[in-house]
Amino acid sequence: MIKDNQRFWNGLHVVLDACVIGISYVLAWYIRFKFGVFPPSPWYLSLQEYTRVLIFVIPGYLILYYIFQLYTPKRVQGRRLEIWHITQANAIGLMGLILVLYLVKEQNFSRSMLFVFFCVNVFAEALMRNLIRILLRSIRKKGLNQKQILLIGYSQAAEAYIDRVVANPSWGYTVRGILADNVPRGTEYKGIKVLGRIDNLSIILPENRLDEIAITLGLAEYHKLAKIVSMCEKSGVHTKFIPDYNNIIPTKPYTEDLLGLPVINIRHVPLNNRLNAFMKRCVDLFGAVVALILFSPVMAVVAVIIKVTSPGPLIFKQERIGMRNKPFYMYKFRSMVVQDASAEKKAWTTQNDPRVTPIGKFIRKTSIDELPQLVNVLKGDMSLVGPRPERPQFVEQFKEEIPRYMVKHQVRPGLTGWAQVNGYRGDTSIRKRIEHDLYYIENWTLGFDFKIIIMTFFKGFVNKNAY
């Protein structure tokens, strides 16, 4: 059973962690005192003196790893989160070591050696755990170390769960089947069949061949939930609940404890936090200033060409809808012939559009026409990264046609975004764009912004859908 395998891997993790901590500690001593990386010290404690404290360091660090959940199953946990936990645990361990040395008034232990130990150990732990991940995923792809799962209830949640399991064989999940009352026995979805009715659970549970039960009831069947949970808990099988509220709460909700009463918040927007918003704004201001300096020669050349080749204003400004549904004027280099405002509002630019000037075709394709929006970033109308803003008439249209479309206006629109670097620019699916925008809004971090900016440089500037 998977539980036995999990105990084995947890035990192996602990042993490997202890070895890595010890090796990193010894290697740190050699780096500090023997490899010539640091200025030579006239006198220092021997390796034997330093290693005496490992009897306290290794157990202490293993406890910290346990506290930071480094021994929990990580079938679907991301590498970045695990590395972050490793860094946190080692940082606290380093501070604890320094504090203890201060309290016992030990002056001969090199603090720089301890810092080297911190760096080496974080790197070694991350490397070791990633190698284990690769090994486990290879084993699971071959059909070994599988977690046997039964779904209770046929719904959109069940289909979504199966979609993800089928697409990620490295997770090591095997869905044995589905018990459901709302579809006939034999109904199949991606190779997973409905085995019978929910009442059959009382026959299946005593066999004790399941590692996990996932309750995927449809909304109309939630009155059965209490009975199913009671049956599962009596059997001792690990049970989880996958709510069928995708059409209501489509992305990542978060909960809070109201004196023991769990409260589900419909939508989590990290940028509603003032500190997060302040940090993002600081990055926007710094990035916009640097970008304006770097791209100023390109902007100057383009400005001259536009003026020489096409009569009319240099900058084209167009009303867009920004944060909190407030309109603003977004700036672009003019890439089309001058036209009436009423004609401009009718539709998007199409392929081989006669209104596009020769230089306009080039700057639209390379996104150079977007560079004046750096001024919008400085003004606070836009951010470097965020959902792209849309014109008022299309906002009015899409908010009626596309569920959750208006959620994108809870944050500043961006010069580039998660949808854009994934290819959803220009004449592409609005629904897919909104899906990516919602994911960005609810999963925002500064690191995510930097990732999008880097991706923009590699594949976001040239727009094959720009006409």
CB 291 within 8 A of CB 374: yes
* H or E stretch covering 439: helix 430-442
Residues contacting residue 465 through CB under 8 Å, at least 6 positions apart: 425, 426, 427, 428
Q: Please state at what angle helix 274-309 crosses helix 358-365, rounded to 10 degrees.
A: 160
pLDDT tens for 13-36 read 899 999 999 999 999 999 998 887
Q: Which two tokens stand for residue 351?
A: 């392929």
Q: What is the DSSP letter of 1?
A: -
- Strand order of the sheet with strand 173-179? 188-189, 192-196, 173-179, 147-152, 212-215, 238-241
**Structural domains of the chain, with CATH:** 2-141 (no CATH), 147-248 (3.40.50.720), 272-460 (no CATH)
pLDDT of residue 335: 86
Within 10 angstroms of residue 88's Cβ, the number of other Cβ atoms is 15
pLDDT tens for 103-121 read 888 888 888 999 999 999 9
Average pLDDT on 226-230 reads 90
pTM for the structure as a whole? 0.60
Dihedral angle sign, alpha carbons of residues 109, 112, 118, 124 = negative
CA 384 to chain CA centroid, Å, is 18
Q: Which long-range contacts does 348-356 make (Cβ < 8 Å, 24+ apart)?
A: 348/426, 348/427, 349/466, 349/467, 350/427, 350/467, 351/467, 352/467, 353/467, 356/467
Percent of the chain with pLDDT over 70: 90
Q: Which two tokens stand for residue 281?
A: 């704004």
Which residue carries 């066999």 as its tokens? Answer: 207
Q: What's the mean pLDDT when you consider all of the chain?
A: 86
Q: Which candidate, 453, 409, 458, 403, places its Cα nearest to that of 431?
A: 403
Q: What is the DSSP letter of 464?
A: T
Instruction: Band the pLDDT of 366: cuts 50, 70, 90.
Output: confident
CA atoms within 13 A on the CB side of 28: 25
CB 280 within 8 A of CB 271: yes
Distance between CA 370 and CA 72 in Å, rounded? 46
Which residue carries 């808990």 as its tokens? Answer: 233
E strands in 165-295: 173-179, 188-189, 192-196, 212-215, 238-241, 254-258, 261-265
CA distances from 7 to 101, 174, 193 (A): 35, 19, 31
Percent of the chain with pLDDT over 90: 45
Q: Which two tokens stand for residue 297?
A: 């020669």
Distance between CA 19 and CA 16 in Å, rounded? 5
Rg (the chain; Cα; Å) = 29
Average pLDDT on 407-425 reads 91
Average pLDDT on 341-364 reads 70
Distance between CA 183 and CA 196 in Å, rounded? 9
pLDDT tens for 138-197 read 777 776 777 889 999 999 899 989 998 888 877 788 899 999 999 999 999 999 999 999
Dihedral angle sign, alpha carbons of residues 78, 79, 81, 85 = positive
Name the percent of the chain in helix, strand, coil, to the closest 5. Answer: 55, 15, 30
CB 431 within 8 A of CB 402: yes
Instruction: Band the pLDDT of 1: cuts 50, 70, 90.
Output: very low
Average pLDDT on 87-101 reads 92
Q: Which candidate, 218, 211, 147, 212, places its Cα nearest to that of 180?
A: 218
Q: Which two tokens stand for residue 369?
A: 């026409």
Within 10 angstroms of residue 202's Cβ, the number of other Cβ atoms is 11
CA distances from 322 to 243, 319, 387 (A): 33, 10, 9
Average pLDDT on 306-332 reads 92
CA 279 to chain CA centroid, Å, is 18
Q: Which candidate, 116, 127, 52, places its Cα nearest to that of 86?
A: 127
* H or E stretch covering 316: strand 315-321
